[in-house]
Structure 1
Amino acid sequence: MHRYGDEVAAIARPLRDPGDLDVLLDRAAGARVVLIGEASHGTHEFYAWRAALTRRLIEERGFAFVAVEGDWPDCARVDATLRGGPAPRSALAEYDRWPTWMWANEETVDFADWLRGHNLRTGAGVGFHGLDVYSLWESLREILVWLREHRPDLVPVALRAYHCFEPYGEDPQAYAYATRFVPHSCADEVVRMLIGLRGQELAVTQNAEVVAGAEHYYRAMMEGGARSWNVRDRHMDATLGRLVDHYGPAARGVVWAHNTHVGDGRATDQSRHGEVTLGELTRERFGAGDVVLVGFGSHRGTVVAGRAWGAPMEVLEVPAARPGSVEDVLHAAAPPSALFVFPRLGSRPDLLVDEVPHRAIGVVYRPERDRWANYVPSALGDRYDAFLWIDETTALRPLHPLHVDTREPETFPSGV
């Protein structure tokens, strides 16, 4: 038995069905935002339990929107289906940026179908929105379409930004490399567009914010280090803040993203590498008492991922966790499925205080490297407020196995 074994047994709660989440719902009772993670972007159980928790937060605690680690235009199409029109499956099947399986999967369809039914039945209008920064060209096109219908007088300022990017053929790497070697960027045109569009409705202003964030992100990538990661997480945090403002002063939201974004980076080696995380920024924005950070983990199983950036998706084996890791400890001492809600104050078990390796699988995954890669040293009790444990997990169910556009550069540091 691991030295943490007795304390794990003391704080673990068996997790059999959504009713076992009561204690976590109580913890979230006064929260403005609940961030729910995942230890990979391709695991059925992470998606299914995250959806189960989110359904209860919406139904029983009145949460007003779900914001995900996805692109704003893609998620806007899904959001539109939640209020009528075509079913969500058609909108999710349109996701064509690698890794498509991250949102184009049956698990997300199941949740979106439920949310559509909830909205139509109750008139609640719960939204589904993207937080991420990648959709530079898609967002520019959405801006132009909206302006031509609603504000034709502002079309010229958006066209100047669009034409600035045209020579790069919608290839973000080409633009990024060009800004490194030539003293020119589209930043000025983007800023002028952003200023001109502020004050319009959220659909267009957020697309303008995405263009500004993406332009900054691609330039930052060329500098190496943590800067591009930080541009991305700060953009997600700012978008979350705008969504809370949009839904109203009492609005409450749920966030879905990878553990490496959801967790507080100050409790990991991410902080030592100079990275900030969405969880850390959200605690700073709203106050730690108004935020609940929920992590996930598993010992072994299968996962959908690619062996390289842009590679075809595969169902890959996840080997038994590294000895001495969080996952190894919980495999030895916790129930096969368990919930941990960490104490806010007072003494805490050593497992929540000590820095212990904690596995993180990105969209790029090579199982043969698992023992020496893929682990983030973490003080679990400071990184999260709660943790869902599933000992053996299975791959999620993608909507389509197509090998599509791979021009997006790999996200720093590991596709999460």
Structure 2
Amino acid sequence: MTHTRSSLAQALREVIHPLTGASNDYDALLESIGDARFVLIGEASHGTHEFYRERARLTRRLIEERGFTAVAVEADWPDAYRVNRFVRGQGEDGSALEALGDFQRFPRWMWRNEDVGHFVDWLRGHNERHPGAEVGFYGLDLYSLHRSTRAVVAYLEAVDPEAAGRARKRYSCFDHFGENPQAYGYATEYGRKEPCEDAAVAQLLELQRREAELAHGPLGGDEHFFAEQNARLAKNAETYYRAMFRGRDESWNIRDRHMAETLEALVEHGEGQGRPQKVVVWAHNSHLGDARASEMGWRRGEFNLGQLTRERWPEDTSIIGLSTHHGTVTASDDWDEPARTKRVRPGLEGSLEDLCHEVGEANFWLDLRGQNAATDALREERLQRFIGVIYRPETERRSHHVQTRPADMYDALLHFDETSAVVPLDADAGDAEDEVPDTYPVGE
């Protein structure tokens, strides 16, 4: 059945749930989520205040009312683990601002912003009120190759200096390229240097083999898990940086497979300690919206974390997408450039954003699993906007839009018609290190 823009907007008006800021805003959404153990909450940009605020608001309810045990985010593992120590009352940091101090790679504002700082403070307080049932905070991404290898060596120095020497020797393979993994990927992919793959794999296997022995040492099981995940990251990052020179789809798939492996490792580690795991995931819509319902999947052969999680836990996964029509966003003009407040253009005619705007409600959420005229229409292809850390409004259509089937990508959609830029904690939030990722969409 063909719907006009106005008739489809009317169909949506009949099934949306307005969001007014009231304490019961998400009651029906929590009922829709039900007993899901994995709630994946996306974002349509990396720099929108309302996305961070509402994601945290919903997550707090999932933790308090549904017993969720971990928050896993699109961030580097060692950086996020410093936050994990802080929210558990460990480490030396005295504030959320200090605990977020390892997030120095571009784009720093993605995690060093006011909304994340508020949530980290809240999580620390929650854990203090619930000793023995603390909620963790973890990173899923793989851009921290050199920091992760250093973390493995540092852990082993404390528990087995001889093993630390072996790790240092293995990881020295990367030293020829300084702190630039792109140089490593280029040199090895084009035959100028031998890959470090065998060394990275050997180090991970040694840590896995010795887990029972080392995990009961002076630093305990959590610290061994931290080290083992860093070793896994080094192995996967090594593969990723070589794949960057073979094609976009292959490197994207390596990255999202690593995220899925990390999520599975979190579950196995927690359940190995006798506590069933329920995890909230924060990442961009492009990672969490099922890629099979996007041209990322059907044209480019890319999969993503949302698809892999649905395939691994089909009855236990709920995916929530976020969208906006217009407003402002914190983003850069290009990679490694300072953060700016940029105006987001109104949604393109016929796009998901345009349709949500036509509804005429400032903020609302929509259950996409129902069978009605609105959700049926949203199973048809339409443009959807994706803004990463770079926003180029001058090439809006080409740079930031993808054909999707929204009702197949997500189980629910949260729409905020006019949004505002996230506030960075750093005035110079555009500084970067050398571990520059391959990105999608522009600057994702």
Fold agreement, TM-score > 0.5? yes
Q: 1:388 aligns with which of 414, 434, 437?
A: 414
3-state SS, counterpart of residue 327 of structure 2: strand
- 1:106 and 2:132 matched: no
Identify the residue that residue 186 of structure 1 maps to in structure 2.
Answer: 196
Q: 1:141 aligns with which of 135, 142, 150?
A: 150
- Offset, 1:344: 5.2
Equivalent-residue separation in structure 1 for 2:432 and 2:387 (angstroms): 22
3-state SS, counterpart of residue 248 of structure 2: coil
Identify the residue that residue 398 of structure 1 maps to in structure 2.
Answer: 424
- Offset, 1:233: 0.3
C-alpha distance after superposition, 1:320-354 (max 9, x if no partner): 11111000011011411001112256876333211
Kindly report which structure 2 residues correspond to 1:84-123, keeping only aligned pairs within 5 A, or say none.
84=89, 85=92, 86-123=94-131
Instruction: Give the AA of the match of 1:127.
Output: G
When the two structures are superposed, what TM-score results if normalisation uses the length of structure 1? 0.96
- 1:371 and 2:397 matched: yes
| 8 Å Cα contact 2:328-2:421 kept in structure 1 | yes
Identify the residue that residue 228 of structure 1 maps to in structure 2.
Answer: 251
Equivalent-residue separation in structure 1 for 2:35 and 2:358 (angstroms): 34
Q: 1:275 aligns with which of 302, 316, 325?
A: 302
C-alpha distance after superposition, 1:151-173 (max 9, x if no partner): 22322331122210001011011
- Offset, 1:415: 2.4
3-state SS, counterpart of residue 370 of structure 1: helix
C-alpha distance after superposition, 1:268-310 (max 9, x if no partner): 10112110010000001111x2100000000001101111111
- Offset, 1:252: 0.4
Q: 2:331 aligns with which of 305, 315, 320?
A: 305
- Offset, 1:36: 0.3
- 1:152 and 2:157 matched: no
Instruction: Give the AA of the match of 1:136.
Output: L
Equivalent-residue separation in structure 2 for 1:360 and 1:82 (angstroms): 31
Equivalent-residue separation in structure 1 for 2:61 and 2:168 (angstroms): 44
- Offset, 1:19: 1.7
| 8 Å Cα contact 1:93-1:400 kept in structure 2 | no
Instruction: Give the AA of the match of 1:157.
Output: R
3-state SS, counterpart of residue 236 of structure 1: helix
| 8 Å Cα contact 1:36-1:294 kept in structure 2 | yes
Identify the residue that residue 415 of structure 1 maps to in structure 2.
Answer: 443
- Offset, 1:250: 2.3
3-state SS, counterpart of residue 391 of structure 1: strand
| 8 Å Cα contact 1:179-1:219 kept in structure 2 | yes
Instruction: Give the AA of the match of 2:134.
Output: G
Instruction: Give the AA of the match of 2:129.
Output: R
C-alpha distance after superposition, 1:211-265 (max 9, x if no partner): 0111011011010130000000000001000111112162100000000001000
Q: 1:175 aligns with which of 180, 184, 200?
A: 184
| 8 Å Cα contact 1:23-1:341 kept in structure 2 | no
3-state SS, counterpart of residue 381 of structure 1: helix
- 1:338 and 2:364 matched: yes
Pair 386,395 (structure 1): closer, same or farther in 2 beyond 3 Å: same
Q: 2:11 aligns with which of 4, 7, 11?
A: 7
In terms of mean alpha carbon deviation, does 52-61 or 153-162 score higher?
Answer: 153-162
- 1:72 and 2:94 matched: no
Equivalent-residue separation in structure 2 for 1:330 and 1:405 (angstroms): 36
Instruction: Give the AA of the match of 2:439.
Output: F
In terms of mean alpha carbon deviation, does 83-92 or 377-386 score higher?
Answer: 83-92
| 8 Å Cα contact 1:12-1:334 kept in structure 2 | no
Pair 154,342 (structure 1): closer, same or farther in 2 beyond 3 Å: same
- 1:293 and 2:319 matched: yes
C-alpha distance after superposition, 1:176-217 (max 9, x if no partner): 111122251100110111110112521110000110111011
Pair 4,344 (structure 1): closer, same or farther in 2 beyond 3 Å: closer
Identify the residue that residue 87 of structure 2 maps to in structure 1.
Answer: 82
User: Unaligned 5+ residue runs, structure 2?
Assistant: 216-223
Instruction: Give the AA of the match of 1:55.
Output: R
User: Unaligned 5+ residue runs, structure 1?
Assistant: none
Q: 1:251 aligns with which of 273, 277, 281?
A: 277
Identify the residue that residue 221 of structure 2 maps to in structure 1.
Answer: none
Aligned residues: 415
Equivalent-residue separation in structure 2 for 1:190 and 1:244 (angstroms): 23
In terms of mean alpha carbon deviation, does 82-91 or 141-150 score higher?
Answer: 82-91
Equivalent-residue separation in structure 2 for 1:135 and 1:389 (angstroms): 33
3-state SS, counterpart of residue 104 of structure 2: coil
3-state SS, counterpart of residue 378 of structure 2: helix
- Offset, 1:26: 1.1
Equivalent-residue separation in structure 2 for 1:372 and 1:333 (angstroms): 26
Equivalent-residue separation in structure 1 for 2:243 and 2:11 (angstroms): 43
Pair 340,321 (structure 1): closer, same or farther in 2 beyond 3 Å: same
In terms of mean alpha carbon deviation, does 341-350 or 220-229 score higher?
Answer: 341-350
Q: 1:206 aligns with which of 225, 229, 235?
A: 229
3-state SS, counterpart of residue 75 of structure 2: coil
Equivalent-residue separation in structure 2 for 1:5 and 1:130 (angstroms): 38
| 8 Å Cα contact 1:301-1:394 kept in structure 2 | yes
Equivalent-residue separation in structure 1 for 2:348 and 2:105 (angstroms): 32
Kindly report which structure 2 residues correspond to 1:35-46, keeping only aligned pairs within 5 A, or say none.
35-46=40-51
Pair 406,323 (structure 1): closer, same or farther in 2 beyond 3 Å: farther
Q: CA RMSD in A?
A: 1.5
